């Protein structure tokens, strides 16, 4: 226990007094292993998105069925039934039709607003305050403002302009198609984000516009939550094939939406009134259905390509690591082979007998003994010559002469 005085100061005599209170416990550190240490150096697969459309297929089918009923069946069926089967005035007919429109969309609008606004939100944009909501919600709001203006202006006259009342869905296509196209053009010219675009802060490098749309729709409407925003960001940063997929899909949807908006607008204001009303409330959904099917097919193909590319790059990285390791080990072995004999020779370890028989230093000229005796008349000592090689020239003759004298 740490003894404290009345002032609250820690007793200096306590063994814990000199310990940093913010430092972790040593025992806790012994068994601690961070996530980075436990994670492999190279992941065998791209970072997962942790989201499955198949698991939510029934909810998706129910939601889009309600949207189709609300935005196609209701306006078209009500228009023809009230126009041709009743004696209501044109203004009354379109007032009823307009009042019945968009119930599901408006309900979804306020549901997603509450999910983003509440303090305990689990789908809020990364690094943003709750008042920001998300990028898709602001675009959705702009689209609904334009639609409300069209419907209000169209139902005020006694004879409402039917062509204007057939434009709401096309106007929504204009809003989202233009936003996709403008953001992708800015990204192409490397213009930084002028405002926060969902998880992309102001001044940051832009990503494909469809990235923010996918992030917002799945996180909020699809209940993916903030975890999906984080997972999508990791996947985008880790995989170049995934980035290429989103860039192409962004252009695909931007150009498609703008092109279909132009075609629908031209048809609404050129063909007959009844046909124009049907085309205006149905053609955008037909186009969206075709584009969705093509998107699924292309995305499935690219995800397979991504996995193959990821595996190939993983093998290449592992091979490079092995070659680097072998090269480093070879350099170490070579250094050991070059350094070890020199050191051991200097220490006498490689000589017979070890260090005790190490090479002695060569004597200097002053230390070399003379071959003659100090007395001039003394006979030379020939005992040293016997140690010479007996196979040398003259060695045999000298030996025989010595034997004769004896």
Q: Where are the alpha helices (DSSP H) in 10-167?
A: 26-30, 35-38, 57-68, 74-85, 90-99, 103-117, 135-155, 162-165
Residue 114 lies in a domain: yes
Q: What pLDDT sits at residue 164?
A: 95
Residue 219 lies in a domain: yes
Domain housing 205 = 77-309
Q: What pLDDT sits at residue 10?
A: 40
Residue 349 lies in a domain: no
| Torsion region of 379: left, alpha or beta (phi above 0 gives left; psi -120 to 50 gives alpha) | beta
Q: What pLDDT sits at residue 358?
A: 44
Answer yes or no: are the C-beta atoms of 162 and 75 closer than 8 Å. no
Question: Is the dihedral angle over the CA atoms 165, 169, 172, 173 positive or is it negative?
Answer: negative
Q: What pLDDT sits at residue 240?
A: 94
Answer yes or no: are the C-beta atoms of 135 and 195 closer than 8 Å. no
Q: Apex CA 114: angle with CA 113 and CA 115, to 5°?
A: 95
Residue 346 lies in a domain: no
Count structural domains, the chain: 1
Answer yes or no: are the C-beta atoms of 4 and 11 closer than 8 Å. yes
Q: Apex CA 264: angle with CA 258 and CA 267, to 5°?
A: 145
Q: What pLDDT sits at residue 296?
A: 96
Residue 348 lies in a domain: no
Q: What pLDDT sits at residue 218?
A: 96
Answer yes or no: are the C-beta atoms of 93 and 67 closer than 8 Å. no
Q: pLDDT 10s digit of each residue in the chain, 406 long?
A: 444 443 334 444 444 444 444 444 444 434 434 444 445 556 888 999 999 999 999 999 999 999 999 999 999 999 999 999 999 999 999 999 998 888 888 999 999 999 999 989 999 998 888 889 999 999 999 999 999 999 999 999 999 999 999 999 999 999 999 999 999 999 999 999 999 999 999 999 999 999 999 999 999 999 999 999 999 999 999 999 999 999 999 999 999 999 999 999 999 999 999 999 999 999 999 999 999 999 999 999 999 999 999 999 888 877 777 777 656 666 666 666 665 555 554 454 444 444 444 444 444 444 444 444 444 444 444 444 444 444 444 444 444 444 444 4
Residue 271 lies in a domain: yes
Answer yes or no: are the C-beta atoms of 167 and 279 closer than 8 Å. no
pLDDT in tens, 163-217: 999 999 999 999 999 999 999 999 999 999 999 999 999 999 999 999 999 999 9
Q: Cα–Cα distance between 311 and 317 in angstroms, integer?
A: 10
SS3 283: helix
Q: Cα–Cα distance between 355 and 27 in angstroms, integer?
A: 48
How distant, in Å, are the alpha carbons of 234, 268, 287, 347 from that of 164? 44, 8, 20, 101
109 phi and psi, to 5 degrees?
A: -60, -45
Q: What pLDDT sits at residue 332?
A: 64
Question: Is the dihedral angle over the CA atoms 133, 227, 217, 245 positive or is it negative?
Answer: positive
Q: Cα–Cα distance between 250 and 352 in angstroms, integer?
A: 79
Q: Cα–Cα distance between 385 and 402 in angstroms, integer?
A: 13
With 0-12 / 13-18 / 19 or more C-beta atoms within 10 angstroms meaning exposed / middle / buried, residue 295 is middle
Q: What pLDDT sits at residue 314?
A: 85
Residue 323 lies in a domain: no
175 closest CA partner among 144, 206, 202, 196 = 144
Q: What pLDDT sits at residue 127?
A: 85
Q: What pLDDT sits at residue 84?
A: 93
Beta bridge partners of 197: 200
Beta bridge partners of 200: 197
Q: What pLDDT sits at residue 165?
A: 94
Q: Cα–Cα distance between 337 and 355 in angstroms, integer?
A: 20
Residue 13 lies in a domain: no
Q: Which residues of 350-370 are buried (b: 16+ CB within 10 A; e: fewer)?
A: eeeeeeeeeeeeeeeeeeeee
- pTM equals 0.69
Answer yes or no: are the C-beta atoms of 137 and 162 closer than 8 Å. no
Taking all residues of the chain, what is their mean pLDDT, rounded to a whole number? Answer: 79
| Two structure tokens written together for 234 | 């990791």
């Amino acid at each position: 226990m740490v003894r404290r005085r009345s002032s609250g100061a820690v007793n200096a005599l306590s063994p814990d007094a000199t310990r940093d209170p913010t430092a972790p416990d040593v025992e806790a550190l012994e068994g601690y292993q961070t996530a980075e240490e436990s994670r492999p150096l190279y992941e065998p697969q791209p970072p997962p998105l942790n989201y499955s459309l198949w698991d939510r297929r029934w909810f998706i089918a129910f939601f889009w069925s309600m949207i189709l009923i609300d935005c196609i069946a209701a306006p078209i069926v009500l228009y023809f039934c009230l126009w041709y089967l009743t004696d209501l005035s044109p203004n009354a007919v379109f007032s009823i039709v307009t009042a019945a429109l968009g119930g599901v969309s408006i309900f979804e609008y306020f549901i997603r607003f509450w999910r983003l606004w509440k303090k305990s939100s689990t789908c809020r944009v990364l690094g943003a305050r709750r008042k920001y909501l998300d990028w898709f919600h602001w675009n959705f709001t702009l689209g609904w403002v334009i639609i409300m203006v069209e419907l209000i202006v169209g139902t005020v006259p006694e004879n409402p302009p039917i062509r204007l009342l057939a434009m709401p869905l096309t106007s929504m296509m204009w809003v989202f198609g233009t936003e996709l196209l403008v953001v992708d053009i800015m990204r192409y010219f490397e213009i930084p984000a002028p405002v926060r675009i969902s998880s992309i802060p102001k001044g940051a490098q832009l990503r494909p516009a469809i990235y923010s749309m996918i992030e917002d729709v799945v996180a909020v409407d699809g209940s993916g939550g903030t975890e999906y925003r984080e997972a999508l960001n990791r996947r985008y940063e880790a995989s170049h094939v995934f980035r290429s997929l989103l860039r192409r899909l962004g252009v695909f949807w931007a150009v498609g939406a703008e092109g279909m908006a132009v075609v629908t607008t031209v048809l609404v204001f050129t063909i007959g009134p009844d046909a124009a009303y049907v085309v205006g409330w149905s053609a955008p959904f037909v186009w969206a259905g075709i584009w969705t099917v093509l998107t699924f097919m292309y995305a499935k193909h690219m995800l397979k390509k991504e996995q193959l590319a990821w595996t190939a790059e993983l093998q290449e990285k592992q091979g490079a690591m092995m070659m680097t390791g072998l090269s480093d080990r070879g350099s170490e072995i070579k250094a050991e082979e070059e350094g070890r004999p020199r050191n051991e020779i200097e220490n006498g370890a490689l000589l017979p007998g070890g260090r005790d028989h190490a090479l002695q230093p060569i004597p200097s000229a002053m230390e070399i003994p003379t071959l003659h005796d100090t007395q001039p008349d003394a006979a030379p000592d020939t005992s040293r010559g016997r140690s010479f090689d007996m196979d040398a020239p003259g060695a045999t003759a000298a030996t025989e002469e010595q034997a004769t004298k004896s």
